[in-house]
Amino acid sequence: MGDNYIRFDWAMKRLLRNKANFGVLEGLLTTLLNEKIKIHRLLESESNQEDEYDKYNRVDILAEDSRGELILIEVQNNNEYAYFQRMLFGVSKLVTEYISRGQSYDNVRKVYSVNIVYFSLGHGKDYVYHGKTEFRGIHDGDILELTPFQKQTFKVNEVSSLYPEYYILKVNDFNNVAKTPLEEWIYYLNTGMVLENAVAPGLEEVRQHLKLERMSKDELKAYYRHLDNIVILRDNIDVERAEGRAEGRAEGRAEGLAEGRAEANLENARNLKKLGVSFDIIMKATGLNEEEIKKL
């Protein structure tokens, strides 16, 4: 097994927006889309603004590649029953936002929506899903194709290439031995570790830039507060579903928060201890005492 690395959602918030670290995102996209992706720049959009609830639950990045295509990468930590509609809304906003009034429709931008979800979305056996738009004849089942003129004009071979495409990575559903580059990426997204023999594009950049030991003491504190808040968010949702009465919800939430914080602190301390971080820093970052840390 490899070393422990910074969670991908935290890296998206703090590190991957730096052009020097674009290689991590480019590697993930190159592996997922099975073609070389070069990020030209990151964009701000109405679709990727976060509110107070989103601060820990969700993070996203909007990138423009060297071909002018838009790629929306989103990490969702907690269950959202209408997430499929959310994906549609985000892409629809981008399609309309990045075309000026009066422009012809051939200026509509290609959009990729990459969704990394840490909850059970829908019902299916796989852990990576790809969705695209095709038009099939209702009688013979043939696929509607572009004319030679359209292929030459739009520089694509299929109608589906003109429409948004969706990728869903159900990270928590992955429990296989990583044998392919995509599985190596899913393994990192799932566990926060990079396999020693991993060769997928972008993972070498993860090794170089996203090690926990590169973080300062203050950065570590902020990072582990982020992990604690993710646990708290998940506990809140679980408790609210389990308790039917208001009083029961309140009691269950308090208990869930306490247990969630305690478990998160233990896991954080365990990771720091593996990295050889001093007991003083571990105690400050987690609130545990020296005796508790020794027992880990």
Q: β-strands 39-43, 128-131: how paired? A: unpaired
Nearest to 50 by CA among 62, 64, 65, 63: 62
Q: Average pLDDT, whole number, for the chain?
A: 85
Question: Which pLDDT value is given to residue 161?
Answer: 96
Give every CB contact of residue 193 below 8 A, 6+ residues apart in sequence.
1, 2, 3, 4, 5, 187
Report pLDDT digits (tens) over 144-155: 999 999 999 999
**At residue 258, does pLDDT exceed 70?**
no
Helices marked H in the chain: 8-14, 22-33, 54-57, 83-97, 148-154, 181-191, 203-209, 217-242, 246-274, 279-286, 290-294
Give the C-alpha separation, 128 to 122, whole Å.
12
Nearest to 4 by CA among 153, 150, 191: 191
Report pLDDT digits (tens) over 21-41: 999 999 999 999 999 999 999
Report pLDDT digits (tens) over 69-100: 999 999 998 888 899 999 999 999 999 999 88
Residue pair 42/16 in contact by the 8 Å Cβ criterion: no
107-127 residues labelled b (16+ CB within 10 A) or e (exposed): eeebbbbbbbbbbebeeeeeb
